[in-house]
Each structure stands twice: as C-alpha cells, then as structure tokens.
A and B are shown apart, each in its own frame.
Chain A
Amino acid sequence: MSALTEELREKIRAEFPKYPNKRAVTLPALHIVHDALRCVSTESIREIAGLLELHPSEVHDTMSFYNFFKDEHHPLGKHRVWFCRSISCMLRGGEELLGQVCEKYNVKPGETSADGKFTLEFAECLGACEGAPCALVDEDCHMSLDVASASKLIDELK
C-alpha cells in the first residue's frame, strides 16, 4: 500500500507549474506530506522522490537538513506548540515558561504528550518579540504568555 494518497499526490503535482524543475518542489512536497501524515516516513520519502524524479537520498538529504520534519519514529501529535527561547523572550521569562510547561505536561521539547494531543518544541526567535514570551500553536502566534495563559492554550486544543 502506498504511503501517499492520491489526494496528496495531486496536491504535490499542483506545485509543479510554479517552478522550472521538479526538484524545487521538494520543500513544498515535504510540507504537504508532513502536515497531513504528521511525519515523513521512509516510504513517503521514496514516493515523493518518485514524483519529483529524484533519488530518495536526495529528498532525505534535504529533509534531514531542516530539523522541522519528523520521521516515522517521532511523529507529531495532533498539534505542534513551539515556545520561543531566543533572546527577547528569554529576557522576559521565556525559558522559565518553557520549563514550567514541560513540567506541567510531563513532556520534553521534541516530545509528544501521552495523549497524542500536542508535540512540544522550543523555537528560535519567532519574530513576535513585542509580545515576549510568545509561542506558536500550529500556525498562530500567541503573545505575552505566562504559565496560566499558555496552559489554557494547550488545554483548549481539540
């Protein structure tokens, strides 16, 4: 059975006209697969490579450069929550906040909660320094957090 559904393949093919060659679709394809399947498995890499007419090692080389993508041994939870640890957030308690969240939910950065609801991550500067400390929940940034408001964000995840 193939890892990629026809729908995902179609989404990847829809990127082709935007670029003069298929290799440039590597990052868009990885995003499409990673977002839908919560990881990029070895089989997915092979199938992406097939679509892009690359060797699987070329796709893997690109994928592994960006710490962003998870393999099948470390799949993402349903949501991904990033706490910024860079300078502006650190100066306003960002590292302590991340520590408190780790403790409260019993997860380390890079790990997924036991119920599979979210994967916790540290982030380097999220570019929301006017609202430090901040966190990214999937694709939305939340600013000026403390442990209470951060816990509320996590608890309200569906």
Chain B
Amino acid sequence: MPKFEPVLLARIHTPDSHKLETYQRDGGYQGLRKALDLAPADVTNLVKDSGLRGRGGAGFPCGLKWTFLPKDHPGPIYLCINADESEPGTFNNRYLMEMDPHQLIEGIAIACHAIKSNKAYLYLRFEYGLSYRRLDAAIKECYAAGLLGKNILGKGFDLDIVLHRGAAAYICGEETGLIESLEGKRAWPRIKPPFPAIEGLFRKPTIVNNVETLCCVKQIIDRGKEWFQSIGVKPDPSNPRDAGSYGPKLYTVSGHVNKPCCVELPLGVTARELIDEHAGGVWKGRKAKAVVPGGISMGFLSDKELDTPLDFNGPGKVGCLGLGTAAVVVVDDQTNMVDVLYNCARFFSHESCGQCTPCREGTNWMTRILERIRSGQGSMRDLDLLTEVASSMGIIPGTTICGLSDGAAWPVKNAIQKFRGDFEEYINSARKSVTPYPVGAH
C-alpha cells in the first residue's frame, strides 16, 4: 500500500501550527467561506453523501444525525462538541485540539451553519490543560479576526463558541450525560427518546458531535465527498445496512509497543499493521497476547485476530463490541490477563454514574470478584459468575439507560472467552497480585 498522506494531522509538525496566522497561511477558513456560500441543506447533504460516520465511538452517520433536527425550528438550536475524550488508551482528540485547534473551530462553524445553530458549547475534559489554553487562545483570535461573533466573513452568519470544562467524569462523554453536565447537573444519561436532536441541551434541539468528526467535516468541505469516499472501506454488498467505513481515521497505539503513537490512516488498517509498521513492534522482542481494538470498552482481540481490519465492522466480526475510538492498546505475552481485566473492571466501577442498578452493582461486583481472584481466593466458579454478571448488564440485554454498562461488560466477556486459560492457570497456581499503592483509596 502506498504511504498515506495525513490530512487531519497534516499540519502538526508546522511551527506554531496552533496559531491563526499559520492556519490561514495554509489555506485555513477557506472551507468555511465556501460553506457559507452554500445553503445549510446543501452542506448537510454533502456531509451525508460523503458517508462520514461519527468518530466518537458509536459510528452513527453524521449527516443523517443532522437531518433529525426539526424542520423550520424557531431556534435556538445548539451544537455540543464532545471533547470529553476519556476512553482509556485514547488521545487522538487531544492531538487535534493541541496541534490544530483552528481546524476544529472551522469544522464547528461549518457544522453550525449546516444545522442553523448560532451557539456551540465545546465540552472539554478538565485534564486537557494545554488543549484548553490553545482552544481558548484560538477562539479569541477568531473573534478578533471576525471569524466568530456577528456577521462572520460578512456573510450574515453569527456564531458564538463557549468553552466549557468538565470535572473528570468519564460518563460526560455519553451525549446525554454531557448535556446534563452542561446544564449544571450530575451527568446522568437521559432515557431516549427523545433524542437530543429533538430535545437536547436546555430542552432545545441539539446535535452532539465528536472533535475528530468535525475536523473531517472541514476536510470534506475542502476536498469533496468523492475524496472522502476514495479512502477507507466500501459497504459490504451482502449487508444492506452497512454504511461503509469511509475516510481517514486517527488511530492511537499504546501499551507494550516500542513507539506508542497517534497515526492517521485509511479506515480498515489491521491491528498487526499498526503495531508492526507504525508503533515499532511489540516491545522487548515479545509477542502480543491481547490487543484492545478501540478503547477498553470494546473488548480484546486475541493474537490470532490481529489481521482484523479496524473499520466499523471488523472488530464486531471477532466478538468485540466495535471499533470504538480506534485506540489500540497492546498487551505482551508476559502479562497476565487477570491483571489487565482487573484494571479495566476497576475503571468502569469507578466511572459508573450509579443511575442504573445493573451497571452500578455489576461493575462493582465484577471488580470484587477479580479482586478475589487476585488475592489468591478465586475459584473456577468465579469465571462463570463473571460471565453471568457481564451478560446481564447493558443496553444489549436491555437493562440500562446508556452504553457504559455494555462497555464494562464486554472486556470481561471477551477476556474470559478468549483467555480462559490465563484465568484458570492463575486460579490453580494460587498466585497473588497486589496493587502497589494503598487500596483504601479506591
């Protein structure tokens, strides 16, 4: 395959890439100019026809989501930008916001024109301090240059962007949890319907889009839908519901690799290619035992599944939940899956918002069972118990409001199914793992 020229990350090595001056020198905000000359519906259709699917995890078609807004609504209509990137292993949005904040702002402005919104709230996770400073400075530059505020570029379009900082809660990445948090409440996801497009932020029609998705919108306006569809994977003809996996995607590779990285490639690259060609291979000359395909909530690929294409369909075909955030985490063959799974389970029990009983209790009990195994007190029955608990929680069995529970259950189901030997060996050997810092602090 010829070397792929990055588009979304094209400018990250440019000196001062985060500043308006260099962005405009590189042709920035021409896409917005072009979009403002088009009718909003034409921009929406362009994005819809490009086949762009949301990059935040669910992969919902972006343009289609925009069409769910009520027609001729008197307003206000809101755009929320989901920059609460918190899925373990994921850092691609951080790259985009730190290195090229204007690309995102241009994408936001184009999207707001398309959905007839004059107010965008950018919900940024608190931990991203540099992203905050860069975005804050970039937004100020835009107001000074007439690229935000009233009558943008003299084309009669008004837009304000508000930067809103979160407070270190994973659940705020769920779109209705994000909306509740923005409204000043605890981030408890809402029962849907109504979906945010009908009744969202402040009970007004709202679109929630991910950072990378909006950067893609900007590139689609610049380069056209044909360009976007020339990259990635076409729909599976045997599956009429498959929308394809078009476009470039930012993959992050971390864990036991020589060169952890964030790399932009066409959708559909394999885990093996990412590890060997882009991340310098598994560290210390070891082999991969397990690979997380898209953030820990998606489950695990075994070493026999590394040639799975990481597009929107690939991971699902080998029992994972999906592509997720395309965050690849590599676990080497010297690591025990009991410890890896415990880390995942503990994360979800810490981050469960507590609203739905199956999730609040299930994440906690799975963590406690894994703690028992790690303390040397585990039995084989515990493995079936873990599977039973995991299978009873989430949207997919229909017991919770949001998908956090599915994300918590999936790594458990995958790990026990694909790496059962690791667990059995661990239990039989009565090994013990200790968390090296005071456990009371959980």
CB neighbours of B130 from chain A (8 A): 139-141
* Chain A CB within 8 A of B167 CB: yes
Assess whether A88 is in contact with B255, with CB atoms less than 8 Å apart.
yes
* Chain B CB within 8 A of A26 CB: yes
* Chain A CB within 8 A of B379 CB: no
CB neighbours of B162 from chain A (8 A): 18-19
CB neighbours of B435 from chain A (8 A): 95, 99
CB neighbours of B168 from chain A (8 A): 66-68, 123-124
Chain A, interface size category, equals 35 or more
* Chain A CB within 8 A of B55 CB: no
CB neighbours of A95 from chain B (8 A): 435-437
Please measure, in the bound complex, the distance between the C-alpha atom of A139 and the C-alpha atom of B98, giving whole angstroms.
14
Assess whether A132 is in contact with B254, with CB atoms less than 8 Å apart.
yes
CB neighbours of A154 from chain B (8 A): none
* Chain B CB within 8 A of A25 CB: yes
Assess whether A87 is in contact with B292, with CB atoms less than 8 Å apart.
yes
Please measure, in the bound complex, the distance between the C-alpha atom of A99 and the C-alpha atom of B292, giving whole angstroms.
26
Known A87-B343, A95-B435, A129-B91; contact A110-B441, beta-carbon cutoff 8 A: yes
Give the number of chain B interface residues (Cβ < 8 Å).
Answer: 62
Assess whether A124 is in contact with B350, with CB atoms less than 8 Å apart.
yes
Assess whether A98 is in contact with B437, with CB atoms less than 8 Å apart.
yes
* Chain B CB within 8 A of A21 CB: yes
CB neighbours of A36 from chain B (8 A): none
Please measure, in the bound complex, the distance between the C-alpha atom of A52 and the C-alpha atom of B184, giving whole angstroms.
10
Q: Mark A30-49, 1 if CB is under 8 A from B, else 0.
A: 11000000000000000000
> Which residue from B76, B160, B170, B339 sits with its C-beta under 8 Å from A124?
B170
* Chain A CB within 8 A of B112 CB: no
Assess whether B261 is in contact with A127, with CB atoms less than 8 Å apart.
no
Q: Mark A121-141, 1 if CB is under 8 A from B, else 0.
A: 011111111111000101111
CB neighbours of A124 from chain B (8 A): 86, 88, 168, 170, 347, 350-351
Please measure, in the bound complex, the distance between the C-alpha atom of A158 and the C-alpha atom of B102, giving whole angstroms.
34
Please measure, in the bound complex, the distance between the C-alpha atom of A96 and the C-alpha atom of B339, giving whole angstroms.
13
Known A27-B166, A99-B437, A124-B170; contact A88-B126, beta-carbon cutoff 8 A: no
Assess whether A65 is in contact with B169, with CB atoms less than 8 Å apart.
yes
Please measure, in the bound complex, the distance between the C-alpha atom of A85 and the C-alpha atom of B327, giving whole angstroms.
17
CB neighbours of B353 from chain A (8 A): 65
Please measure, in the bound complex, the distance between the C-alpha atom of A130 and the C-alpha atom of B328, giving whole angstroms.
11
**Which chain B residues (76-134) contact chain A, with CB distance < 8 Å?**
76, 85-91, 93-94, 125-130, 132-133
- Closest-by-CB residue of B relative to A138 is B129
Assess whether B184 is in contact with A99, with CB atoms less than 8 Å apart.
no
Please measure, in the bound complex, the distance between the C-alpha atom of A18 and the C-alpha atom of B181, giving whole angstroms.
15
Known A124-B347, A125-B88; contact A98-B94, beta-carbon cutoff 8 A: no
Q: Mark B7-20, 1 if CB is under 8 A from A, else 0.
A: 00000000000000
* Chain A CB within 8 A of B183 CB: yes
Please measure, in the bound complex, the distance between the C-alpha atom of A61 and the C-alpha atom of B187, giving whole angstroms.
11
> Which residue from A66, A87, A92, A100 sits with its C-beta under 8 Å from B167?
A66
Known A30-B167, A99-B437; contact A128-B94, beta-carbon cutoff 8 A: yes
Known A25-B184, A27-B181, A68-B168; contact A127-B94, beta-carbon cutoff 8 A: yes
Please measure, in the bound complex, the distance between the C-alpha atom of A128 and the C-alpha atom of B343, giving whole angstroms.
17
* Chain A CB within 8 A of B196 CB: no
- Closest-by-CB residue of A relative to B339 is A90
* Chain A CB within 8 A of B210 CB: no
> Which residue from B160, B184, B186, B438 sits with its C-beta under 8 Å from A23?
B184
Assess whether A96 is in contact with B255, with CB atoms less than 8 Å apart.
no
Assess whether B88 is in contact with A102, with CB atoms less than 8 Å apart.
no
- Closest-by-CB residue of B relative to A18 is B162
- Closest-by-CB residue of A relative to B93 is A127
Assess whether B128 is in contact with A127, with CB atoms less than 8 Å apart.
yes
Q: Mark B143-183, 1 if CB is under 8 A from A, else 0.
A: 00000000000000000101011111110000000000111
**Which chain A residues (97-119) contact chain B, with CB distance < 8 Å?**
98-100, 102, 108-110
Assess whether A88 is in contact with B260, with CB atoms less than 8 Å apart.
yes
Q: Mark A41-84, 1 if CB is under 8 A from B, else 0.
A: 00000000000100000000110011111000000000000100
A residues sitting closer than 8 Å to B (CB atoms) are 18-21, 23-28, 30-31, 52, 61-62, 65-69, 82, 85-88, 90-92, 95-96, 98-100, 102, 108-110, 122-132, 136, 138-141
26 pairs from A and B in contact (CB 8 Å cutoff)? A20-B76, A23-B184, A24-B183, A26-B184, A26-B185, A27-B182, A52-B184, A62-B186, A65-B187, A65-B353, A82-B127, A87-B255, A87-B296, A88-B329, A99-B437, A102-B438, A108-B440, A108-B441, A109-B437, A109-B438, A127-B91, A127-B125, A129-B327, A139-B133, A140-B129, A141-B127
B residues sitting closer than 8 Å to A (CB atoms) are 76, 85-91, 93-94, 125-130, 132-133, 160, 162, 164-170, 181-187, 202, 252, 254-256, 260-262, 292, 296, 327, 329, 331, 335, 339-340, 343-344, 347, 350-351, 353, 435-438, 440-441
Given contacts A28-B165, A125-B90, 16 further A-B contacts (CB under 8 A): A18-B162, A19-B162, A20-B202, A24-B183, A26-B184, A27-B164, A31-B167, A67-B169, A87-B296, A96-B436, A108-B437, A108-B438, A122-B437, A139-B129, A139-B130, A141-B129
Nearest first, the 8 A-B pairs at minimum CB distance are: A139-B129, A99-B436, A26-B184, A65-B186, A129-B254, A66-B167, A109-B441, A125-B88
